[in-house]
Amino acid sequence: MAEETKKFMYINRKAPYGTIYAWEALEVVLIGAAFEQDVSVTFMDDGVYQLVKGQDTSGIGMKNFSPTYAALGDFEITKIYVEKESLEERGLTLDDLQHLVWEDEDEDWAEKDSIRLVNRAELGDVLADQDVLFNF
């Protein structure tokens, strides 16, 4: 079925626990990884909160699904775009986010950063280059 490879991007725009969008979006990303498309994931607007490290959901009785993002590299999802302005507007920096990596098979499994910090204009160019945008 994978006769054709398309550029798939999953855009995450919402905070992780107030609504179920973030969690169900992650489920789509994980299932979609099996389809061997050219996949990337974007975090922008309140979606950048999904990647904040040290999440503790014990006070709200909900499952902390944030460790799952660290597994994206194992699913060969190696392009994770984070919008710079979204971080800045929320008083966040890259240091507040999980350090997401993937292992490069072609370079003796060297560990490489998955997160690409891009500004709004650069992200616009990346979006324009996609075939399919999933918007959550």
Q: Which residue ranges make up the site for other proteins (CB under 8 A)?
A: 1-2, 4, 6, 8, 14, 20-21, 24, 27-28, 31-32, 34-35, 37, 132-136
Contacts of 88 (CB under 8 A, 6+ apart): none
Which C-beta is closer to other proteins: that of 77 or that of 115? 77
Beta-sheet pairing, 101-104 with 110-113: antiparallel
CA 93 vs. chain centroid, Å, equals 16
**Least distance in Å: CB of 69 to other proteins?**
18
**Least distance in Å: CB of 131 to other proteins?**
8
Whether 82 contacts 116, CB under 8 Å:
yes
Question: In which element (H, E) is residue 11 found?
Answer: strand 7-12
Which C-beta is closer to other proteins: that of 10 or that of 69? 10
Whether 7 contacts 40, CB under 8 Å:
yes
Which residue's entry shows tokens 């204009």? 121
Instruction: State the Cα–Cα distance between residues 99 and 52, nearest whole angstrom.
Output: 10
Which C-beta is closer to other proteins: that of 94 or that of 132? 132
**Least distance in Å: CB of 9 to other proteins?**
10
Which C-beta is closer to other proteins: that of 117 or that of 127? 127
**Least distance in Å: CB of 28 to other proteins?**
5
